Amino acid sequence: MNAYDQAVFVAVESLALAFIGIGLFRRLFSKYVYVQLYVAGLLLGDVARFAVMRAYGVRSSKYFVAYYLCDYVLVVLKYLAILSFFEIILEGSPFREIARRAFLGLFALLAVLSCGLVPNSSSNVLVEFQQNLHFAAVVLTVMLCVALTQLRVANPQLRMLVYGFGVSAAIQANGWALRNMMSQEVMKEVNRHLSPLAMVLMLGTWCYSLLRVPSTEEVTQHVPEIGLIPALSRAEARG
């Protein structure tokens, strides 16, 4: 690992630990449980891959298996985290159950398409399913940002968390868009720098949202207290 890789690795792990710690301290773990699990999986996956790389080398078959297995688990957790945001946004809406079934059906469809049950599918089921889920997660993130705007969600903390996902998805989408404009070697180097940068920006945005951005519940708790002071003053004046 060069200096850039080491700096990004430390930044990602530190931000991941900070996000989990802030969530536990502010008692937000149950509210954003799938997001917390995704970040915990990210942290544990990076540690596991780093340990295997140091033990067996970056070109070993064991590191190859560990890398893609961890990435597979992470993309599944990311998919669930995105769905959990839809669950929160559509809470109380009649479309919530429809959306839940549609997204679970999409997950099953991607699994079928990755298993070689249709023509032109890859024989490597794990890699194919992983790539399909990556693409689906980016598309669903875009849909999540659109839903956030169209439904006019008032929770500022939730909006900031979703925008963190959106920043990461935008950087990944730009990387894919450049794939046909660059050679494979150059593209590999670009992705090596873009993906960790996207993760740092996303985790940094999430930590800021839990620390500095209030949720709707926190805002409404203070509204009655503010409105109570004039009411009491008027009552005392009448007395």
pLDDT averaged over 10-residue windows placed end to end, the chain, 239 residues: 80 94 91 94 91 90 86 89 90 82 82 57 62 84 86 88 88 68 64 80 94 71 42 43
Cβ proximity of 36 and 206 under 8 Å: no
What CATH number corresponds to the domain at position 91?
1.20.1070
In a domain, 95, yes or no: yes
With a CB cutoff of 8 Å and minimum separation 6, the contacts of 153 are 89, 159
Q: Domain span at residue 163? A: 3-213
Cβ proximity of 12 and 46 under 8 Å: yes
In a domain, 172, yes or no: yes
In a domain, 76, yes or no: yes
In a domain, 233, yes or no: no
In a domain, 179, yes or no: yes
Cβ proximity of 158 and 215 under 8 Å: yes
In a domain, 127, yes or no: yes
- How many domains does the chain fold into? 1
In a domain, 222, yes or no: no
Q: Which of 95, 82, 77 shows the shortest CA–CA distance to 40? A: 77
pTM above 0.85, yes or no: no
In a domain, 221, yes or no: no
